[in-house]
Amino acid sequence: MAAVTKMTRFRNEDVIPQDALFFDAGGSTYHTHTCPEGETHKWLCNSPYCSSLKTMCPDHGGEEPVKIGREPWRR
């Protein structure tokens, strides 16, 4: 059984390396988070609303980054 993942599977290989985990939140610039769960790993995100770069990734129970256009304060 394949692992369930919340990270995006489609990538622009000019921006995201083939083996990198990433979450596409609709921003224009990616930054790197470090997930402390299990074996520490890095994942890329392009949300402009991140407040912590050392937090669990969505695949390990962390909150999904805020997507542009779906900000909670606009609902």
Predicted confidence pLDDT, tens digits, the chain (75 residues): 334 456 555 556 667 777 778 888 888 889 999 999 878 899 999 999 998 899 899 989 999 999 999 888 887
pTM above 0.85, yes or no: no
The CA distance from 16 to 8, in Å, is 11
- Residue 11 forms part of a structural domain: no
Domain count, the chain: 1
**Domain span at residue 29?**
21-67
- Residue 44 forms part of a structural domain: yes
- Residue 27 forms part of a structural domain: yes
- Residue 52 forms part of a structural domain: yes
- Residue 43 forms part of a structural domain: yes
- Residue 1 forms part of a structural domain: no
- Residue 26 forms part of a structural domain: yes
